[in-house]
Copies of this chain bind each other. A is one copy, B any other.
Amino acid sequence: MRYSKAFGKSLRQSPKEAQAQSHKLLTKAGFIDQLSAGVYTFLPLGWRVHQKIAGIIREEMNALGAQEFQMPVIQPKALWKETGRWETIDPPLFVTTDRHEKEYALGPTHEEVITDLARRFVKSYKDLPFSAYQIQDKFRNELRATGGLLRTREFFMKDLYSFHAEKADFEDFFKKVVAAYTKIFDRVGLKTLVSQASGGTIGGDVTYEFQVPSPVGEDLVFFCKKCGFAINKEIVAEKNIKDTCPECKSKLEQTNAIEAGQVFSLGTKYSEAMGANFVDKDGKEKPLIMGCYGIGVGRMMATIVEVFNDEKGIVWPTSVAPFQVHLLAVSSQQSVNSQAEEIYNKLIKKGVEILFDDRDESPGVKLADADLLGVPERWLISEKTLRQQAVEVKKRNEESSKLSKISDLV
């Protein structure tokens, strides 16, 4: 991509109200733009990162054998009345009305819709187990939405649902999802604590949150460095845990953390409320056993920026970077710019993900923007490097640079 034609270039200033580093940096670098409180446009550079993260999640969901599908945003009130969540869900629902005065929720989550599908499509144990996921736009009517992508009113979420005939089969799948989530966070460079948590207005009996330690995190997590045990503060009293690890008796430490993913054992909470049954091997009708599993894509993007940044800007991990190479020419000589053009055109043809800063800007501005945007490799061309028919290659996460021959790179 030519940076001169990028829609949403760097602003070089942060929004006044921004507190979180990710909010400041993603806005300043032109990755996102706030339309309304908690409602953001993903500008082309930001959407590339969002799609990279979604791609990694999709691969790991497919590897689990889960089927991708897509449920609607607008959901009839009648379904939400069946589970009682029309009134109780927290934060409350965004609601809309059609021209016949029929009311709909804008889906914050899809347990009602998928349970309704399951009660109509699943007849027998032969149809089980199965799992299905979507990467879909969600809505939460938060009273306050600050923190950029960390707390929004509209956001893309990967929500996976699984249905089982047997508890043991569910437990087996649940473990596989925890492993898949761990792999996803690993692939995007995030270390997580798998923390026992409250199910809130979604969950059943067992809930874990994938918590990324960070000073801007809104959750407080107690964790054990030795054995990995972790628990959210909100349920510490209820579980009668003091300052000692219940597993290995080491001293528990605490940290603020960002909740980056959540897995719920739902049991038969929704299937009983909505009458979603199947006929088992023994000919008896039984309620479906169910789990649900969520990861917020935009929140993951912000969490990555919270962890990977320095005083100059973002430092994207390669796996989610919008581009792999940031090419820039620092010279007023036409020959240097032509050489940069030539390298850009060759690499584009080879399918390299390359951002070319072809603007008529000073070297200082271009270098500062390269650091701000955080592409993993910066390739700089100047009169000096060209004398050696080379490009200065610098990794964003390293201080030193080296000269590489153009013939080797292209």
Q: Which residues of A contact B (CB under 8 A)?
A: 1, 4-9, 30, 33, 35-37, 39-44, 46-48, 50-51, 65, 67-76, 92, 94-99, 102, 104, 106, 113, 116-117, 120-121, 126-127, 129-130, 132, 137, 139, 141, 143, 153-154, 359-360
Q: Are A44 and B73 interface neighbours, CB within 8 A?
A: no
Q: Are B69 and A47 interface neighbours, CB within 8 A?
A: yes
Question: Which 5 A-B residue pairings sit nearest by Cβ, starting from the closest?
Answer: A44-B67, A42-B70, A47-B69, A94-B96, A7-B132
Q: Are B74 and A154 interface neighbours, CB within 8 A?
A: yes
Count of this chain's copies in the oligomeric assembly: 2
- Report the separation of the CA atoms of residues A96 and B94 in the bound assembly, to the nearest whole angstrom: 6
Residues from chain B with a CB closer than 8 A to the CB of A96 are 94-96, 106
Starting from the known contacts A73-B137, A92-B99, 5 additional A-B residue pairs (CB-CB under 8 Å) come to A8-B121, A37-B98, A41-B113, A41-B117, A42-B69
Question: A117 with B69: in contact, given A127-B5, A153-B74 (CB under 8 Å)?
Answer: no
- Report the separation of the CA atoms of residues A72 and B6 in the bound assembly, to the nearest whole angstrom: 19
Q: Are A126 and B41 interface neighbours, CB within 8 A?
A: no
Residues from chain B with a CB closer than 8 A to the CB of A7 are 67, 69, 117, 121, 130, 132
Q: Are B1 and A44 interface neighbours, CB within 8 A?
A: no
Q: Which of B75, B127, B153, B360 contacts A35 (CB 8 A)?
A: B75
- Report the separation of the CA atoms of residues A38 and B102 in the bound assembly, to the nearest whole angstrom: 13
Q: Are B41 and A104 interface neighbours, CB within 8 A?
A: no
Q: Are B47 and A143 interface neighbours, CB within 8 A?
A: no
Q: Are A47 and B70 interface neighbours, CB within 8 A?
A: yes
Q: Are B143 and A104 interface neighbours, CB within 8 A?
A: no
* Chain B, Cβ-Cβ closest to A163: B7
Residues from chain B with a CB closer than 8 A to the CB of A75 are 35-36
Residues from chain B with a CB closer than 8 A to the CB of A8 are 69, 117, 121
**Closest-CB distance, A409 to chain B (whole angstroms):** 24
